[in-house]
Amino acid sequence: MIEPNLPEQLQRWQPQIRYLLLDEHRYTEADLAGQRNLAAALFRLENSRQPEDIERVLASLIDWLTAPEQDELRRAFVVWLKRVLLPARVPGAELPPVNDLQEMHAMLAERVKTWTEEWKQQGLDQGRLQGRLEGRLEGEAKVVRRLLIRRFGALPAWVDQRLERASEVELDVWTERLLDGQTLEAVFNDMN
């Protein structure tokens, strides 16, 4: 029904839908920062990468949403921050009961340093784990290489290249094949 050239008898049932696409990732912080606009503030919050970015936007929202008739809107932002944004940015962080944008801003100001340290620590932990994995794979590849040299003699360049890029599964398979394989090609043939 969305084809441009429908038969005339079907055209009256063809959907007539209009929409406006707002691609929040298309706007930069510089594009959005100067706008006194709730959609721009929401986009800035969703695109925030640092707790300080969230703090700045909250300060703007507190300034803009001061009228008593905006109570519901302030509460909606607090609920969204507590249930959606902050859990995604700071997984596992305990959030105190906060019901107001000013309380949220004060809580963030207090916890920013702690969260920043936690994020850095998580990054370091991830880096350490990655480094350990790479080191272990490198060590396994060296052992397989030594066994191959002992069994088959000098190795061609293609074997070294395969060993450098090998996954843990490949190294395990090649180690087992090394015991029975009669040639290098038999050890390294495609894994099926």
List per-residue pLDDT tens for the chain, 192 residues long: 567 788 888 888 877 778 888 888 788 888 888 888 888 998 988 888 777 788 888 888 998 988 999 989 989 988 988 888 888 877 777 778 888 888 888 888 777 667 666 666 666 666 776 777 788 888 889 999 999 999 999 999 999 999 988 888 888 889 889 888 889 999 988 654
pLDDT at residue number 119: 61
The verdict on 81 and 153 lying in the same domain is no
Q: Is the residue at 15 inside a domain? A: no
pLDDT at residue number 88: 80
pLDDT at residue number 115: 66
Q: Is the residue at 1 inside a domain? A: no
Asked which of 128, 145, 176 is the last residue of a domain, the reply is 128
pLDDT at residue number 157: 92
Phi, psi of 8 (to 5 degrees): -55, -40
The verdict on 84 and 147 lying in the same domain is no
Report the alpha-carbon distance of residue 82 to residue 98 in Å, rounded: 8
pLDDT at residue number 148: 92
The verdict on 33 and 89 lying in the same domain is yes
Structural domains of the chain, count: 2
Are 168 and 139 in contact by the 8 Å Cβ rule? The answer is no
Domain extent for 165: 134-188
What is the reported pTM? 0.50
